[in-house]
Each structure stands twice: as C-alpha cells, then as structure tokens.
Structure 1
Amino acid sequence: MPKIGMEPIRRKALTDAAIEAIGARGTMDVTMSDIAGRAGVSPALAHHYFGSKHQLIIESVRALLRDLRQDAEQALKNARTSRARISAVIAVSFSDKQFSDEVVAAWLAFYVDAQRAPEIRRLLSIYARRLHSNLMSGLSPLAGESDAERIAEGAAAMIDGLYIRKALGTGPARYDAVALVEDHIETQLLEIRGRTV
C-alpha cells in the first residue's frame, strides 16, 4: 500500500532524476528505467505517476520553468530600481542552480526535442515570453518601449546563446556570462542616454 503524502515527493524525485539523466546524456535518449533508477523507485511506479516517458519529460520542463519563475519572482521582489530589476533577471538566469552543467544540458536537449514535440515547444515559448517580460519591466522605464524591446531581445539572445555555448563546453564561467550580458545592457543604455543629451 502506498504511503500517504509520498506522491509529491516521488514525482519531484522523478522530475529531478529526468533532468539529471537527460543532462548527463545531453539527449532525450534515456529510458524510464534509467530515470526511475536515479530516483530510487521502480519503473512501474514512474509509469504509474506519469504514464509515459514523454509525460515525465513535459513535467520536467514544467518543473524547471517553475523553479526559474519562483527564483525570478523572489529576485524581482528584492530589486529596488528599474536597473536592479534587469540585473536581477540576469543574475537568476546564471545562478548556480540554473546554470549548472546538467540543467544547461537538459535545456539544450529540450530545445532540440521541441522541434518535434509541440507541448515542449509551447513550454519553451512561455519561458521566452516570461524572460522578455521580466527584462522589459526594468528596461521600459529606462529606455522607452521601442528601445527596450530591442535591448531585451538582444539580452535574451545572449542568455540563450551563452547556455548553448556552456552546453557545448565552450562557454564562459557563470560570472563572466553575467558580465557579458550586463555589458550589453549598459552599452545600450549609455547609447540611449547619449542620444537624449
């Protein structure tokens, strides 16, 4: 008989294990047995909770998005200025948790799988819209709507590109990644200030 209250714990263990397994392999080519073994449960229990590997993968992407959203909300709550909001979004994107090797490799695998999995593509578009919105919340008061859109797109492209480079083993360290995106933002804001003087 299953223990009461264990389902949420086991579901989280399975989504964490899926991210770990996919990140370790750098591909979606993992089995429910691989994932269940990492989570310390039987493959039958993994199937019971999620039905299929595909459903477990989708829930794993959702789990990553929830973590990222919660981290961003907390960081933005503590940001006192518009410029601090931008820095908070950048810092969260490259936090130890988000920019770990296995999480970055898992994100890359999810992006590749999104080419043929509409549900994963939909979840990744939610991520992109949320990142854009969070960046705009700090940029719009400083740069105006049009310039803020352009700067936010550039910053988001840099963040995604730095994740890809990290997954390929050619990217900068976490602090250097933050500095590169911050430099992009500051250069763009300085240019706008120069135009208005």
Structure 2
Amino acid sequence: MPKVGIEVIRRKSLIEATVDAIHERGFCDVTVAQIAKRAGVSPALAHHYFGSKDQLLAATMGHLLKDLSDGVRQRLAKAETPRERISAIIDGNFAPAQFRPSVIAAWLAFYAQARTTRSSQRILRIYSSRLRSNLTFNLRSFMSREQALSVAEGTASIIDGAWIRQALSDGPSDRDTAIAMVEDYVETQIRQHAGENPENGTAGSRKIQ
C-alpha cells in the first residue's frame, strides 16, 4: 500500500479515536497518548501528524464539519423549493451520523476550545457563517432581508441549543424532537413575516408533518 494511503488511514483512525476518547473521558482528561493507543499508532506518530492535542481536536472538527456539510449538500440537491431547502438544512444539521452521543460530546469540547484556540475559532466561524448564509438565502423568499437575517440567527441559535442540551442530557439522542422544535420556530416566523409582507407570499411553505 502506498505511503499516502497509509497516512490517510492513520489520520482517519486518530480522528475517530479522538471522538470516542472525548466521549469516554472528556477533552481535558484525555491525552494524545491515550488517543494514539486507541487508534493503534504510536504517540510520536500522532504528534507528527497533528502536533498538539488542540490541533488534533481542530482536525477532528474539520472532518466532522466536512461530513455535516456534505450531508446538507446532498439533502439540498433533492429539495425543490426554498421551504424544502430550509428543511434540508435543518435535517442535515441533525443527521444520524452527527447527532449521536460521541460526536455531540466532541462538538461540545470544540465549542469550549474555540474560546481560546485560533484554529478552532476559524472552523467555528466557517460553520456558523455557512449555516446563517444558507438559511438567510432561502428565508428571503418569505420575508425581507433584515427579517431573514434575524430569523436565520434565531434558527441557528436553536440548532446550537439543541446540540448543547443533548450534550448535557443523560438520555439517548432524539433527532426527531430536535428537528420538530426548529421547524416549529421557522414555520411560525415564516407565517408571521409573510403576513407582514404580503408581497412575499407563502409559496413553497409547508406545514410540519
């Protein structure tokens, strides 16, 4: 097997081990050596690939963010109306592969590290900006730009809040309830602002199933 192939496999193993280790021990208590052992590589090799534990977390978050973005894009490709695209964005942010205990724990650690780590701050800005931009673009079909920006911010906040609440919960992840909560907020806002701005209409809107 070519060296490039081996490196890709080892990096992926370290990223997966990071997610599992954070879920089991928490970010503060886990060490690079423990992550490396779980991944089946030496600590020296883990440091060679990623440098510090903070850099390993940033790489893990970058990987998870790419998976999340890919999932959203796949759902958007099947959506035909602005309202369907909003639902696709919401559903993608609670994808089963993402909204599970180990990944939720990793994201919570990422948010905490983003306060002090520049690489994590950059990844978080990319995620937040992309989410707000996608929501705003599609919400513009139902309301003014200023209103769409405000509703997009509110929607993003509810999505983030659902993740944090789940991270602090002892129960199993419940994506259906989380999605319904966000959808209810969006639907309420669309109806309210469509009434304030009759020229926008309500074409493409749908009730929550």
What TM-score does the superposition give when structure 2 sets the normalisation length? 0.87
Question: What's the RMSD between the two structures over aligned residues?
Answer: 1.9
Alignment of 1:1-197 (within 5 A): 3=3, 5-169=5-169, 173-197=174-198
Aligned equivalents of 2:117, 2:137: Cα separation in 1: 31
Aligned equivalents of 2:51, 2:95: Cα separation in 1: 32
SS across alignment from 2:27: coil
Structure 1 or 2: more helix by fraction: 1
Gaps of 5+ in 1: none
The alpha-carbon deviation at position 102 of structure 1 amounts to 1.0
The alpha-carbon deviation at position 108 of structure 1 amounts to 0.8
Task: State the 4+ residue runs in structure 1 displaced beyond 3 angstroms.
Answer: none
The alpha-carbon deviation at position 144 of structure 1 amounts to 2.5
The alpha-carbon deviation at position 117 of structure 1 amounts to 1.0
What letter is aligned with 2:41?
V
The alpha-carbon deviation at position 142 of structure 1 amounts to 2.0
Gaps of 5+ in 2: 199-209
What letter is aligned with 1:21?
A
The alpha-carbon deviation at position 131 of structure 1 amounts to 0.8
What letter is aligned with 2:130?
R
Aligned equivalents of 1:21, 1:127: Cα separation in 2: 23
The alpha-carbon deviation at position 51 of structure 1 amounts to 2.6
What letter is aligned with 2:125?
S
**C-alpha contact (below 8 Å) 1:84/1:138 kept by paired residues:** no
What letter is aligned with 1:68?
L
Aligned equivalents of 2:28, 2:99: Cα separation in 1: 19
Task: From the superposition, tell whether residues 161 and 145 of structure 1 become closer, same or farther in structure 2 (CA, over 3 Å).
Answer: same
Question: Percentage identity across aligned positions?
Answer: 49
Aligned equivalents of 2:126, 2:41: Cα separation in 1: 31
Q: Which is further off, 19-28 or 3-12?
A: 19-28
The alpha-carbon deviation at position 170 of structure 1 amounts to 6.7
SS across alignment from 1:96: coil
